[in-house]
Each structure stands twice: as C-alpha cells, then as structure tokens.
Chain A
Amino acid sequence: MDTPNDIEHLLLRHLQGVATDEEKHLVMQWAAQAPDNQAVLDRIESEDLLRKDLDLLFQTVDGAEGEARLVRMKAHILQTTKSADQGGIRHIKRTAWWRYVAAAALLIIAFGTYYYQATWEPRQASPNFATHVRPGSNRATLTLANGQTIDLSAAHTGIVIGADITYQDGSEVLENKQAMYHTTQILDNCINV
C-alpha cells in the first residue's frame, strides 16, 4: 500500500516516530522553507501545544456533543444547498411565467389593435358632409300618415289642426283637399313640425 506523501502525513509519521530518514529529511526541508512552516513543526512537537490543540479538537468534534455538532452542521449544509438548488429551478420557472405573461400581453395588444382598426376605419371612410350649409330659415315639413310630405309655407307661422289643417292666420295648408281624410292620423303621427 502506498503511504501518502503529502506534508500532513509526513508530519503524522514524524510525530508517531515511524518516519524514515528520508521522510525526516523532507520534513526538515519543508520546515526550512518558511518561518510559518517551522512554526507548525514547533507547535506540533511541543507537547503542551499538541495537548491543547488535541483537547480543543476532541472537545469540538468528539463524544456525543461533538458528533451532534457534525450531524447538525451536515444537515444544515445539505438542506441549505439543496434549497438553493431548488431556488435556482424556481428562478427558471419564474422566467417561464413571465414569458407567458409577455405572450398574453402581446396577444391582447394585437387583438386590441385589430379591433380598433376594424371598427375605426369605416367611420373614417364615410364622411358624408354637406359641402354647402345654408343659414337656417322658417321652414318645416309635415309628414302625413300615408307618407305624403307637405312643405309648410315660410310666410306663415304655426299650424292649427281642426277639421282642416290651417295656418294660424286661417289660410289652408293643403291645396289638395284629398289629404284631409288623413287628418285624424296626422294628429297621432305628425312628427317633423
């Protein structure tokens, strides 16, 4: 079996007193590389500091309390990272949801525009305005029940409907007496006076 050759394992074997001369040499070489490395070697070789560090390590991770701590931490990490992943999926779903909203909005705008143009264009296409509008005068038309229309005279004012239809001054509206038969209907139906 290969023994791991990283510095941590070399230091462990050094501490265990099982390091070969070559391994001891590697440890010394490593320690000489930087003051911080030397400090680590010193700290590990010092019985007091090693005791202190091991004590701290055992207190933190060993026994019922230590194991409970590790279980708690792992559960927290897995829960947080898993819900973060689901959060990512939710984010994608939210993007999709916005796409639907955008598509719906486009449809509404498209139909709205179509409807507006379909209903608005004909109105624009038929502007039947009189080109010459004459000033207003004393004119009226009397429409009888049989559909006959009579232009009322501009020279008279008001009409009186009795046995005959006369103007207020007594002159006859109808030159043609035949229309008189419809007088009763005229009473009910005369509109455009």
Chain B
Amino acid sequence: MEIEFFERFKANDHQALSVYFDRHVRALLLFAQRFIANPFVAEEVVQDAYVKLWAVRNRIQNEDHLKSFLYQTTRNACIDYLRTNAHRIQEQAVELDENINQPDTDLLARMIHAETLQLVYSEVKKLPPTQQQVFLLTFIEGLNTEEICTMLGMTANAIFVARSKALATLQHLFKGKELFICTALLHLTGLWQAK
C-alpha cells in the first residue's frame, strides 16, 4: 500500500502527490507556524515545499526521505523568511524560547512533535461531532460545563458524557485531574442503564 503510493509518486502520478499532501499537510502547517505565526505565510511555505518535492521527485528514495525533505524544505523557507523579514515580524508572536538555528536533531524532534500532534488531531476528528465540539470547548477554550451547556443548548448530563468521552482521547493528561468527570460518567451510565 505504502510502497504502491510511492511508486505511483515516482511515476509522476499527481494523485499520489495529493495523498502525501493529505498525510502531512496539517503537521507541516503546525511545524511552520511554530516558526512563523502568520498562517498565510505558513501556508505558502508549505505549499512551496510540495511544489519543490515534485520538482525533485526523481531523487526521493523512499517515504521517510520524502517526509524529511518536506520538513527540511519548510524549515529552510521559514528561516529564510524570518531572516529577510526580521524587522517586520519582530512584534509577532514567534515563540521566544525557540532558537531557530538548531541542528538537525531539533528538526527531527520538531517533526516528531508536529506529527504526534496531527495524530492527536485525527483522534479528535474520529469522535462524533458533538463530542468534538465539547472537546474543543473544554480542552482548548477552557469552558466549564455550564458555559458549554448554554452554548450548545445541551443538558448538563449530556455534556458530561460527551466531555468524558472526548477527553478520553487524551486520557493520560487528565488522569487524576478530571476524575470527577469519570465519576460523573459512571454515575450517568448507571442511571442510563437503570432507565
């Protein structure tokens, strides 16, 4: 399967290029945005990396090589952008703790970080829409149950269920912290089954 796509890619199949786009683009955008806060610049940088990948496809040896080419090219373009626009983007929220001139171990680590985040994203996207929404409101927006209830017009019980299921996506982080949700969930499930 993997090899088949790669062979099609090498055989000038644009469909295969579009498969690699779908596979890495989200992580690449996140990766680029850790250098460049502007999402439109990040967008351009990443799409340029794909265009360049196509131009050198004859020299790409395997899928790992393909992936690291995309990240390497994106990073180089980000650094170039930061250097040429240093005066203009001073005020932008590029993370201060990050040194952009680190060696390749940093590139690899950043790539792993971005790809892991993309995996988390795809786990969230596997949830039903309501649970996705509750996850975003709870975890990212930091809203409490009452606020979410008001927002989504759901009952508190339904929110508890949706939220606990959604947060199970990142169970490790919520161990202990969100025990009350689990308790509530058990309680609700019990009630549900009792009905």
Contacts and interface: CB of A to CB of B under 8 A. Distances in A.
B140 A58 contact: yes
Contact of A54 (B39, B42, B117): B117
A2 interface: no
B140 A16 contact: no
A45 B50 CA distance: 31
B106 interface: yes
Contacts of A107: none
A36 to B, nearest CB: 4
A49 to B, nearest CB: 10
B31 to A, nearest CB: 10
Contacts of A58: 121, 136, 140
A14 interface: yes
Contact of B54 (A16, A36, A81): A81
Interface residues of B, number: 48
A12 B170 CA distance: 8
B171 A16 contact: yes
B113 interface: yes
A187 interface: no
A99 interface: no
A82 B26 CA distance: 23
A69 B51 contact: no
Nearest to A15: B172
Nearest to A14: B172
B161 interface: no
Given A57-B30, A58-B136, A70 B25 contact: yes
B175 interface: yes
Contact of B140 (A11, A17, A39, A55): A55
Given A36-B108, A40-B109, A57-B121, A51 B140 contact: yes
Contacts of A59: 39
A12 B43 contact: no
A60 B46 contact: no
Given A47-B173, A74-B18, 16 more contacts: A8-B115, A8-B116, A16-B171, A36-B102, A40-B116, A44-B113, A44-B116, A50-B170, A57-B30, A61-B29, A70-B26, A73-B46, A73-B47, A74-B21, A77-B21, A82-B14
Interface of A: 7-9, 11-12, 14-18, 34, 36-37, 39-40, 43-45, 47, 50-51, 53-62, 69-70, 72-74, 76-78, 80-82, 84-85
Interface of B: 12, 14, 17-18, 21, 25-26, 29-30, 33, 39, 42-43, 46-47, 50-51, 54-55, 102, 105-106, 108-110, 112-113, 115-121, 123-125, 136, 139-140, 142, 168-173, 175
25 contacts: A8-B112, A12-B116, A12-B119, A15-B120, A16-B170, A17-B171, A18-B171, A36-B105, A36-B109, A40-B112, A44-B113, A50-B120, A54-B117, A54-B124, A54-B139, A56-B33, A57-B117, A60-B33, A62-B125, A69-B39, A74-B21, A77-B18, A77-B51, A81-B14, A81-B54
